[in-house]
Structure 1
Amino acid sequence: MRLRATRTVPERPRPGTEVLTAEGVRLTIGGRELLTGAAVRVTAGEVVALLGPNGAGKSTLLSVLAGDLRPTAGDVRLHGRPPADHSTAELARHRALLPQSAALSFPFPAGEVVRMGRAPWAGTTAAAEDEAVVAEAMAATESAAFADRPFTALSGGERARVALARVLAQRAPLLLLDEPTAALDLRHQELVLRVARARAAAGDAVVVVLHDLSLAAAYADRVVLLAGGATVEEGTVSEVLRAPLLSEVYGHPVEVLTHPRTGVPLVLPERARRPGPPGR
């Protein structure tokens, strides 16, 4: 006999509600300081991009925000409480984390991998939506065509899209995405960021680690610039993506232009003029 789901689904935060905050976060592992004073604030209905050079602490901070790492010092609040105060099941229903790389030991079909994202809702009234939610997530990431193929047989970009579909299927009101565009071609980079914007428009909060500053400028509501494990600047795209600041943080001169049609900032490294062909 099938048991009826009785647990109800928690109410999702209203747009503008503070979902996640971190202040003065420090983290030391093995005697090495990975975070030295990171801070971030995230509200429902917005996309926040974590930016910074390699080793700045972006992925580490994301793991702290997710509750996978406990900070050595500082304060992190998820829905007003430290992540450690939430049960494992609560965390899985409140936030969904997409790591940099997705690896599985067994060749599960891609559709089953996406369906794993529904595990936190087993036994709740939301479980009735499982099939529809999985189908919607795979359609949004253009991964339905290989739903029956083993995850281990997929290309890097296909795996990345299936992993994102799993996160979307989790239907958590906070999405933490670590370099979701890294393995993707131009079309699917745009697709992923459009999906992030759509989730924010639907009321979710999205935190995304990006290396492409122009992608961040095009899709983020606010950006957090990190360097040396600390937050250097936090604010709107125009407030943070300034050529002098970026040149200093990245250790390379950049220029910030404005796209003539969209008005969105374009961040480009300064380069020497390319010489013409010989003989001209």
Structure 2
Amino acid sequence: MIRSFFAARGRTLPEPVAPGGPVAVAEDVRVRLGGRPVLDGAGLTARAGEVLALVGPNGAGKSTLLAAVAADLPAESGEVRICGRPAPEWTAAELALRRAVLPQSATLSFPFPVEDVVRMGRAPWAGTDRADEDEEAVADAMAATEVTGFAGRPFAALSGGERARVALARVLAQRAQLLLLDEPTAALDLRHQELVLRVCRARAAAGDAVVVVLHDLGLAAAYADRVAVLRRGRVAVEGAPGAVLSDGLLSEVYRQPVEVFPHPRTGVPLVVPVRGA
């Protein structure tokens, strides 16, 4: 009955996508910004239970593709589908139940305490039969990102790395099946970079689809199920890290000679720039 009520108000509650099923699909997406083509026929598929890493040089279109998949940036052509429906057919409220987005930078105009910022992630569920999960979702998200210890501090008083973790906690508290994370490790130290990617793996293990933009190829190799390498607004190659991260391809895409070799213990590809003597 409650589902019928919210459907009548234009808010259909989500049904989970089965493991391995497509949660989001982008096909032949083209986007122009300031008259300049940024995406030129890019596409991806985010599957339930997987972490997909988007990598590539600056200006390749990674953040733009993520924004297009989130339906935050309209495509000039092509199609984006979320949970089986074209993204424009979902209302904003319905999208908020299905995908959670972490932008590159997090800013707030008012001095909200950390816990209140994280609790903002629960706003889409207000009035639904999952609103009773709010306290648990907020507590779990804060614990996962190690921000519980400063729950009462104003967001504006935090360091850049602390803000980044609080912003991620807000996204996790939303409990959407599609997580779209734009450079979530950029402001973090080594420990918390690893923490964030372990959180991504945990969410994938729970059945979510995680798409994460990364500059650190080592993190992509260690934690992603699939890696998509972008170049000039298109996906140059996509697949398992061991198959995709080759020295020839990466040297060409990044215009920087690199060597790729397996870690002696784990076998995970290690990418090392070739430097002069």
Aligned residue among 159, 162, 166 for 1:162? 166
Look up the match of 1:276: none
Look up the match of 1:266: 270
Given the alignment of the two structures, is residue 254 of structure 1 paired with residue 252 of structure 2, yes or no? no
- For 1:23 and 1:245, the matched residues in 2 are separated by 23
Partner amino acid, structure 2, of 1:14: A
C-alpha deviations, 1:197-227, integer Å up to 9, x for none? 0000000000000000010000000011101
Classify the secondary structure of the residue corresponding to 2:78.
strand
8 Å contact 1:100–1:178 — kept in the other structure?
yes
Classify the secondary structure of the residue corresponding to 1:24.
strand
Classify the secondary structure of the residue corresponding to 1:260.
coil
- For 2:121 and 2:35, the matched residues in 1 are separated by 35
Unaligned regions of 5+ residues in structure 1, if any? 274-280
67-76 vs 216-225, which moves further: 67-76
Given the alignment of the two structures, is residue 234 of structure 1 paired with residue 225 of structure 2, yes or no? no
8 Å contact 1:9–1:125 — kept in the other structure?
no
Classify the secondary structure of the residue corresponding to 2:27.
strand
Given the alignment of the two structures, is residue 141 of structure 1 paired with residue 145 of structure 2, yes or no? yes
Given the alignment of the two structures, is residue 209 of structure 1 paired with residue 213 of structure 2, yes or no? yes
Q: What is the number of residues matched between the two proteins? A: 270
Look up the match of 2:15: 11
Given the alignment of the two structures, is residue 83 of structure 1 paired with residue 87 of structure 2, yes or no? yes
- For 1:264 and 1:96, the matched residues in 2 are separated by 29
254-263 vs 171-180, which moves further: 254-263
- For 1:30 and 1:185, the matched residues in 2 are separated by 34
- For 2:34 and 2:212, the matched residues in 1 are separated by 27
Partner amino acid, structure 1, of 2:22: E
TM-score by length of 2: 0.95
How big is the alpha-carbon RMSD for the aligned residues of Structure 1 and Structure 2? 1.4
8 Å contact 2:13–2:94 — kept in the other structure?
no
Classify the secondary structure of the residue corresponding to 1:261.
coil
Q: 1:9 to 1:80 in 2, by over 3 A?
A: closer
Look up the match of 1:128: 132
Aligned residue among 177, 189, 192 for 2:196? 192
User: Matches of residues 89-108 of structure 1 in structure 2 within 5 Å?
Assistant: 89-108=93-112
C-alpha deviations, 1:247-279, integer Å up to 9, x for none? 000000001011111111111111123xxxxxx
Look up the match of 2:9: none
* Bigger radius of gyration among the two: 1
Write out the 4+ residue segments of structure 1 that deviate beyond 6 Å after TM superposition: none
- For 2:165 and 2:139, the matched residues in 1 are separated by 13
Look up the match of 1:41: 45
Classify the secondary structure of the residue corresponding to 2:260.
strand
- For 2:164 and 2:33, the matched residues in 1 are separated by 28
- For 1:150 and 1:211, the matched residues in 2 are separated by 29
Given the alignment of the two structures, is residue 180 of structure 1 paired with residue 198 of structure 2, yes or no? no
Deviation of 1:9 (Å): 4.8
Partner amino acid, structure 1, of 2:241: V
262-271 vs 110-119, which moves further: 262-271
